[in-house]
């Protein structure tokens, strides 16, 4: 089986010690140097993944954070359909934003994608498809594996990217979350789940989740399951400034679902619209604005997973 490792070069430079260990695992498994393909710019992992499939690779390993995994994922599909249903995706978390890996319970050293002869399994995981408006006002379609976030999440990403680099990526994200809690004003949106009657509400965030974590370790959707054919939809309502700051620790540990200003449901299709400009963040990247139509593609991709660590499906509520 031919394998290609799609590596985020920025993450490799920033986390040199871990990257050298990953390289050691790659070489130890008998892979050639040309099996490793380094990105040189944002978005390039999508092209590299598509080229690898065209060249006959049937195992692709994304080495980086959630954004790298997202780019590789989008390179494996065309119009929501896999280019090759036999391709398996491996994940080696290398970076500060590795929330999907947290749900999977893997680290850079323990990833089964680096240890092909160790016990592992292929899990057919769901993928989310989103039709939205990009930051230039154009209609776009993009896939995600972890989650997409409407509202304050886009401001978090924006603030984190503009914070001084000397702080480090994780402190920058904490700052972004605190800044959003302090300054973000709830937006009025209309949310329809599975074609139902739109619900009008003021939200700080609407989180459409396949995985459980976002924002570098915040347990946003603690009950989400990666292979149940459903999104977990978490609406965080119109918190006041002090109330929002006070509840940030509850969001981090996943204790927010019982708050009276938080609602939670599950569904296969979610439409979010607004008369205001509302930001859309996906797998850690600020990608656009509303309206956004999200749909689950069940069992869409084979993911190399540990023997244990991924929960199985359940019926909708």
Are 239 and 285 contained in the same domain?
A: yes
In a domain, 133, yes or no: yes
Closest CA to 216 of 163, 143, 140, 270: 163
In this prediction, residues 146-157 reach a mean pLDDT of 85
**What pLDDT is attached to residue 267?**
98
**What pLDDT is attached to residue 316?**
35
Q: What confidence category does residue 313 fall into, taking pLDDT thresholds of 50, 70 and 90?
A: very low
**What pLDDT is attached to residue 177?**
67
Query: What pTM was estimated for this model as a whole?
Result: 0.91
pLDDT digits (tens, 9 = 90+) for 173-205: 566 666 667 778 889 999 999 999 999 999 999
**What pLDDT is attached to residue 176?**
64
Q: How many CA atoms lie less than 13 Å away from 12 in the CB half-sphere?
A: 19
Are 284 and 187 contained in the same domain?
A: yes
State how many domains the chain has.
Answer: 2
For the ranges 137-141, 158-162, 294-298, the lowest mean pLDDT is seen at 158-162
In this prediction, residues 280-300 reach a mean pLDDT of 95
Q: Which helix (H) or strand (E) holds 60?
A: strand 59-64
Q: Quickly tell me which residue has 């309206």 as its tokens.
A: 291
In a domain, 80, yes or no: yes
- CATH code for the domain in which residue 63 is found: 3.40.50.10330
The better pLDDT of the pair 164, 14 is held by 14
Of 118, 146, 162, which closes a domain?
118
Are 266 and 288 contained in the same domain?
A: yes
Are 171 and 250 contained in the same domain?
A: yes
Average pLDDT, the chain: 90
pLDDT digits (tens, 9 = 90+) for 228-265: 999 999 999 999 888 988 998 999 999 999 999 999 99
**What pLDDT is attached to residue 37?**
97
Are 8 and 44 contained in the same domain?
A: yes
Q: Which domain holds residue 267?
A: 128-298
Residues in the chain: 317
Are 274 and 146 contained in the same domain?
A: yes
Q: What confidence category does residue 125 fall into, taking pLDDT thresholds of 50, 70 and 90?
A: very high
Q: How many CA atoms lie less than 13 Å away from 79 in the CB half-sphere?
A: 0
The better pLDDT of the pair 120, 17 is held by 17
**What pLDDT is attached to residue 312?**
44
Measured between alpha carbons, how far is 291 from 131 in angstroms, rounded to an integer? 8
């Amino acid at each position: 089986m031919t394998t290609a490792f799609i590596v985020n070069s920025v993450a490799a430079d920033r986390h040199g010690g871990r990257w050298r260990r990953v390289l050691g695992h790659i070489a130890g498994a008998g892979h050639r140097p040309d099996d490793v393909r380094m990105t040189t710019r944002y978005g390039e992992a999508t092209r590299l993944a598509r080229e690898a499939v065209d060249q006959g690779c049937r195992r692709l390993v994304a080495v980086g954070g959630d954004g790298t995994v997202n780019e590789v994922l989008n390179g494996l599909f065309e119009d929501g359909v896999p280019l090759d249903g036999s391709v398996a995706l491996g994940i080696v978390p290398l970076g500060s934003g590795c929330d999907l890996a947290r749900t999977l319970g893997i680290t850079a050293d323990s990833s089964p994608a680096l240890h092909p002869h160790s016990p592992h399994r292929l899990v057919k995981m769901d993928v989310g498809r989103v039709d939205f408006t990009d930051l230039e006002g154009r209609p776009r379609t993009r896939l995600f594996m972890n989650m997409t976030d409407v509202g304050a999440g886009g401001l978090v990403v924006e603030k984190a990217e503009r914070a001084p680099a000397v702080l480090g990526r994780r402190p920058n994200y904490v700052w972004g979350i605190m800044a959003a809690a302090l300054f973000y004003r709830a937006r009025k949106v209309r949310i329809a789940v599975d074609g139902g009657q739109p619900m009008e509400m003021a939200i700080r965030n609407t989180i459409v989740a396949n995985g459980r974590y976002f924002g570098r370790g915040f347990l946003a959707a603690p009950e989400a399951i990666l292979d149940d054919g459903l999104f977990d939809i978490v609406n965080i309502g119109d918190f006041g400034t002090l109330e929002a700051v006070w509840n940030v620790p509850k969001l981090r540990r996943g204790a927010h679902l019982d708050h009276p200003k938080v609602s939670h449901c599950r569904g296969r299709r979610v439409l979010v619209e607004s008369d205001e400009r509302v930001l859309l963040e996906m797998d850690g990247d600020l990608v656009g604005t509303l309206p956004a139509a999200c749909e689950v593609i069940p069992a869409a991709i084979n993911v190399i997973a540990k023997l244990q660590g991924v929960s199985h499906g359940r019926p909708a509520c």
